[in-house]
Protein backbone atom coordinates (compact mmCIF):
# COMPACT_ATOMS: atom_id res chain seq x y z
CA UNK A 1 0.00 0.00 0.00
CA UNK A 2 1.39 3.48 -0.84
CA UNK A 3 1.18 6.55 1.40
CA UNK A 4 -2.25 6.75 3.02
CA UNK A 5 -3.56 10.36 3.28
CA UNK A 6 -6.20 9.24 5.79
CA UNK A 7 -3.40 8.79 8.34
CA UNK A 8 -3.41 12.56 8.85
CA UNK A 9 -4.14 13.16 12.53
CA UNK A 10 -2.97 9.72 13.66
CA UNK A 11 -1.50 10.04 17.15
CA UNK A 12 0.69 7.47 18.83
CA UNK A 13 0.21 6.16 22.31
CA UNK A 14 2.67 7.50 24.88
CA UNK A 15 6.12 5.91 24.65
CA UNK A 16 9.15 6.17 26.89
CA UNK A 17 12.89 6.41 26.48
CA UNK A 18 15.42 6.39 29.31
CA UNK A 19 18.82 8.04 28.93
CA UNK A 20 21.75 8.75 31.19
CA UNK A 21 24.97 10.76 31.26
CA UNK A 22 26.72 8.31 28.97
CA UNK A 23 24.08 8.90 26.28
CA UNK A 24 24.39 12.67 26.67
CA UNK A 25 28.18 12.57 26.30
CA UNK A 26 28.11 10.08 23.41
CA UNK A 27 25.70 12.31 21.51
CA UNK A 28 27.95 15.33 22.08
CA UNK A 29 30.92 13.43 20.63
CA UNK A 30 28.73 12.27 17.75
CA UNK A 31 28.03 15.86 16.72
CA UNK A 32 31.66 16.92 16.99
CA UNK A 33 32.12 18.24 20.53
CA UNK A 34 35.67 17.77 21.79
CA UNK A 35 38.06 18.72 24.60
CA UNK A 36 37.27 22.39 23.99
CA UNK A 37 33.69 21.69 25.10
CA UNK A 38 34.13 19.58 28.23
CA UNK A 39 30.84 21.02 29.49
CA UNK A 40 29.07 18.56 27.19
CA UNK A 41 31.60 15.73 27.09
CA UNK A 42 32.62 14.92 30.68
CA UNK A 43 30.90 14.33 34.00
CA UNK A 44 33.95 14.35 36.29
CA UNK A 45 36.21 17.22 35.22
CA UNK A 46 37.18 19.66 37.97
CA UNK A 47 35.01 22.77 37.91
CA UNK A 48 32.78 21.43 35.13
CA UNK A 49 29.13 20.42 35.55
CA UNK A 50 27.86 18.28 32.68
CA UNK A 51 25.19 19.87 30.47
CA UNK A 52 23.04 18.38 27.71
CA UNK A 53 23.31 19.82 24.23
CA UNK A 54 19.90 21.24 23.23
CA UNK A 55 19.77 19.26 19.99
CA UNK A 56 20.02 16.05 22.02
CA UNK A 57 16.23 16.39 21.99
CA UNK A 58 16.11 14.65 18.59
CA UNK A 59 17.47 11.42 20.10
CA UNK A 60 16.12 11.80 23.64
CA UNK A 61 12.68 10.56 22.58
CA UNK A 62 14.00 7.25 21.28
CA UNK A 63 12.09 5.58 18.43
CA UNK A 64 8.38 6.33 17.89
CA UNK A 65 6.10 3.27 17.85
CA UNK A 66 6.10 1.29 14.62
CA UNK A 67 2.36 1.73 14.21
CA UNK A 68 2.92 5.43 13.45
CA UNK A 69 4.68 4.66 10.17
CA UNK A 70 2.48 1.65 9.50
CA UNK A 71 -0.49 4.03 9.59
CA UNK A 72 1.24 6.29 7.05
CA UNK A 73 1.47 3.46 4.51
CA UNK A 74 4.10 1.23 2.93
CA UNK A 75 7.19 2.50 1.15
CA UNK A 76 10.78 1.62 0.36
CA UNK A 77 12.83 2.88 3.33
CA UNK A 78 15.85 3.46 1.08
CA UNK A 79 13.86 6.26 -0.58
CA UNK A 80 13.21 8.20 2.64
CA UNK A 81 15.19 11.38 3.30
CA UNK A 82 14.92 13.84 6.14
CA UNK A 83 13.33 17.03 4.79
CA UNK A 84 13.02 19.52 7.66
CA UNK A 85 13.54 19.58 11.40
CA UNK A 86 12.69 21.93 14.23
CA UNK A 87 13.48 21.72 17.94
CA UNK A 88 11.70 23.98 20.42
CA UNK A 89 12.96 23.83 24.00
CA UNK A 90 10.88 25.02 26.95
CA UNK A 91 13.43 23.95 29.54
CA UNK A 92 16.95 22.53 29.68
CA UNK A 93 17.12 18.79 29.08
CA UNK A 94 18.47 16.96 32.16
CA UNK A 95 21.58 14.79 31.89
CA UNK A 96 19.59 11.69 32.82
CA UNK A 97 15.97 10.70 33.10
CA UNK A 98 13.02 9.23 31.24
CA UNK A 99 11.25 11.07 28.44
CA UNK A 100 7.57 10.36 27.76
CA UNK A 101 6.46 11.34 24.26
CA UNK A 102 3.53 11.31 21.88
CA UNK A 103 3.91 11.76 18.13
CA UNK A 104 1.20 12.87 15.74
CA UNK A 105 1.07 12.95 11.94
CA UNK A 106 0.23 16.61 11.30
CA UNK A 107 0.81 16.78 7.53
CA UNK A 108 0.75 14.50 4.48
CA UNK A 109 1.59 16.29 1.24
CA UNK A 110 1.65 15.19 -2.37
CA UNK A 111 4.72 16.59 -4.15
CA UNK A 112 3.92 14.51 -7.28
CA UNK A 113 7.38 12.88 -7.44
CA UNK A 114 7.42 12.29 -3.70
CA UNK A 115 5.32 12.34 -0.56
CA UNK A 116 6.08 14.44 2.50
CA UNK A 117 4.96 13.23 5.93
CA UNK A 118 5.19 15.75 8.79
CA UNK A 119 5.17 14.62 12.41
CA UNK A 120 5.05 16.56 15.66
CA UNK A 121 6.32 15.15 18.93
CA UNK A 122 5.66 16.54 22.40
CA UNK A 123 8.05 15.29 25.08
CA UNK A 124 7.84 15.57 28.84
CA UNK A 125 9.95 14.51 31.82
CA UNK A 126 8.38 11.42 33.36
CA UNK A 127 9.29 12.37 36.91
CA UNK A 128 8.12 15.99 36.85
CA UNK A 129 5.52 15.70 34.05
CA UNK A 130 6.96 18.96 32.73
CA UNK A 131 6.94 19.43 28.94
CA UNK A 132 10.59 19.85 27.97
CA UNK A 133 10.49 20.26 24.21
CA UNK A 134 8.58 19.84 20.96
CA UNK A 135 9.95 18.38 17.73
CA UNK A 136 8.57 18.86 14.23
CA UNK A 137 10.01 16.70 11.48
CA UNK A 138 9.27 16.10 7.81
CA UNK A 139 10.15 12.96 5.85
CA UNK A 140 10.59 13.26 2.08
CA UNK A 141 9.76 9.90 0.49
CA UNK A 142 10.78 9.63 -3.15
CA UNK A 143 8.42 7.89 -5.56
CA UNK A 144 5.39 7.99 -3.23
CA UNK A 145 3.63 11.10 -4.55
CA UNK A 146 0.90 11.56 -7.17
CA UNK A 147 -1.96 10.42 -4.92
CA UNK A 148 -4.10 13.51 -5.60
CA UNK A 149 -3.38 14.90 -2.17
CA UNK A 150 -2.73 18.36 -0.73
CA UNK A 151 0.42 19.84 -2.26
CA UNK A 152 1.29 21.57 0.99
CA UNK A 153 3.34 24.75 1.42
CA UNK A 154 5.73 25.54 -1.43
CA UNK A 155 7.69 28.43 0.06
CA UNK A 156 10.19 28.38 2.90
CA UNK A 157 9.10 29.92 6.18
CA UNK A 158 12.01 32.38 6.22
CA UNK A 159 13.72 34.59 3.64
CA UNK A 160 17.48 34.34 3.79
CA UNK A 161 19.59 37.54 3.72
CA UNK A 162 21.57 38.38 0.59
CA UNK A 163 24.57 39.98 2.31
CA UNK A 164 27.55 38.39 3.99
CA UNK A 165 26.92 36.59 7.28
CA UNK A 166 27.87 38.16 10.58
CA UNK A 167 29.55 34.96 11.74
CA UNK A 168 31.02 31.85 10.12
CA UNK A 169 31.81 28.82 12.27
CA UNK A 170 33.64 25.92 10.60
CA UNK A 171 33.71 22.35 11.90
CA UNK A 172 35.50 19.38 10.38
CA UNK A 173 33.58 16.11 10.40
CA UNK A 174 35.53 12.86 10.62
CA UNK A 175 35.54 9.86 8.27
CA UNK A 176 33.91 7.80 11.04
CA UNK A 177 31.40 10.51 12.03
CA UNK A 178 28.32 8.59 10.87
CA UNK A 179 29.52 5.41 12.58
CA UNK A 180 29.90 7.34 15.83
CA UNK A 181 26.62 9.25 15.55
CA UNK A 182 24.58 6.11 14.81
CA UNK A 183 25.39 4.86 18.32
CA UNK A 184 22.95 7.49 19.59
CA UNK A 185 20.10 5.51 18.06
CA UNK A 186 19.66 6.00 14.31
CA UNK A 187 20.94 2.71 12.85
CA UNK A 188 19.63 3.39 9.33
CA UNK A 189 22.07 1.50 7.05
CA UNK A 190 22.03 4.46 4.65
CA UNK A 191 24.71 5.88 6.94
CA UNK A 192 26.85 2.77 7.35
CA UNK A 193 26.23 0.18 4.61
CA UNK A 194 27.77 0.98 1.19
CA UNK A 195 25.43 -1.39 -0.66
CA UNK A 196 22.33 0.16 0.94
CA UNK A 197 23.64 3.65 0.15
CA UNK A 198 23.98 2.65 -3.51
CA UNK A 199 20.32 1.55 -3.53
CA UNK A 200 19.46 5.08 -2.44
CA UNK A 201 21.58 6.58 -5.24
CA UNK A 202 24.76 7.44 -3.32
CA UNK A 203 28.21 6.09 -4.04
CA UNK A 204 28.92 5.75 -0.31
CA UNK A 205 27.11 6.19 3.01
CA UNK A 206 26.04 9.73 3.84
CA UNK A 207 26.08 11.53 7.18
CA UNK A 208 22.83 11.66 9.14
CA UNK A 209 20.99 14.90 8.49
CA UNK A 210 20.43 15.20 12.22
CA UNK A 211 24.18 14.90 12.78
CA UNK A 212 24.75 17.92 10.53
CA UNK A 213 21.87 19.57 12.40
CA UNK A 214 23.68 18.87 15.67
CA UNK A 215 26.95 20.38 14.39
CA UNK A 216 24.99 23.44 13.31
CA UNK A 217 23.23 23.62 16.68
CA UNK A 218 26.60 23.64 18.45
CA UNK A 219 27.71 26.59 16.32
CA UNK A 220 24.54 28.50 17.22
CA UNK A 221 24.76 27.61 20.92
CA UNK A 222 28.42 28.63 21.17
CA UNK A 223 27.96 31.96 19.34
CA UNK A 224 24.43 33.32 19.73
CA UNK A 225 23.99 31.83 23.24
CA UNK A 226 27.58 32.04 24.56
CA UNK A 227 27.33 28.28 25.26
CA UNK A 228 24.47 28.91 27.72
CA UNK A 229 21.91 26.14 27.14
CA UNK A 230 19.21 28.09 29.02
CA UNK A 231 19.14 30.63 26.17
CA UNK A 232 18.53 28.05 23.44
CA UNK A 233 14.91 28.23 22.28
CA UNK A 234 13.75 27.34 18.77
CA UNK A 235 15.92 25.99 15.95
CA UNK A 236 14.42 25.01 12.61
CA UNK A 237 15.91 24.30 9.19
CA UNK A 238 15.51 22.47 5.88
CA UNK A 239 17.92 19.77 4.69
CA UNK A 240 19.08 20.46 1.13
CA UNK A 241 22.13 18.42 0.09
CA UNK A 242 23.63 15.30 1.72
CA UNK A 243 26.85 15.55 3.70
CA UNK A 244 29.53 12.87 3.50
CA UNK A 245 31.64 11.89 6.51
CA UNK A 246 34.88 13.85 6.30
CA UNK A 247 33.24 16.98 4.91
CA UNK A 248 33.84 20.38 6.49
CA UNK A 249 30.73 22.23 7.62
CA UNK A 250 30.69 26.02 7.44
CA UNK A 251 27.82 27.46 9.49
CA UNK A 252 26.93 30.97 8.32
CA UNK A 253 24.95 33.04 10.80
CA UNK A 254 23.11 36.35 10.37
CA UNK A 255 22.34 37.93 13.74
CA UNK A 256 18.84 39.19 14.54
CA UNK A 257 17.19 40.50 17.65
CA UNK A 258 16.55 37.54 19.94
CA UNK A 259 18.08 35.06 17.51
CA UNK A 260 19.33 34.77 13.98
CA UNK A 261 19.14 33.08 10.60
CA UNK A 262 21.62 30.46 9.43
CA UNK A 263 22.77 28.31 6.56
CA UNK A 264 25.31 25.48 6.54
CA UNK A 265 27.56 24.73 3.56
CA UNK A 266 30.16 22.07 2.81
CA UNK A 267 33.73 22.82 1.75
CA UNK A 268 32.52 22.32 -1.86
CA UNK A 269 30.20 25.28 -1.48
CA UNK A 270 27.12 23.06 -1.48
CA UNK A 271 24.30 24.30 0.73
CA UNK A 272 23.49 21.37 3.01
CA UNK A 273 21.14 23.08 5.51
CA UNK A 274 19.13 26.16 4.55
CA UNK A 275 16.32 28.47 5.66
CA UNK A 276 17.57 28.11 9.21
CA UNK A 277 15.92 30.13 11.95
CA UNK A 278 16.92 30.40 15.60
CA UNK A 279 15.17 32.15 18.49
CA UNK A 280 16.42 32.50 22.02
CA UNK A 281 14.26 31.14 24.83
CA UNK A 282 11.91 33.60 26.46
| Catalytic residue positions, numbered | 186, 191, 206, 209
- CA 9 to CA 19: how far, in whole Å? 29
- CA 256 to CA 165: how far, in whole Å? 11
Kindly report the backbone phi and psi dihedral angles of residue 205, in degrees, each rounded to the nearest multiple of 5, phi listed first.
-60, 145
- CA 136 to CA 12: how far, in whole Å? 15
Count Cβ atoms within 10 A of the Cβ of residue 11 and give its class: 0-12 exposed, 13-18 middle, 19 or more buried: middle
Region class of 73: left (phi > 0), else alpha (psi between -120 and 50), else beta: left
- CA 80 to CA 189: how far, in whole Å? 12
Amino acid sequence: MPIDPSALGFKSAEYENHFDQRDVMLYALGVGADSNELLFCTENSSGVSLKTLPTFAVVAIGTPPLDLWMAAGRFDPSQLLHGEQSVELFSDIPTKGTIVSTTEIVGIYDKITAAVVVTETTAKDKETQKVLFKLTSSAFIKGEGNFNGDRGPSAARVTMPEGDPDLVVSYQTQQNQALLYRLSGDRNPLHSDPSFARLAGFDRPILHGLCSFGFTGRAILNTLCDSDTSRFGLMSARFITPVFPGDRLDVKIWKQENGGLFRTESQRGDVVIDFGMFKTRA
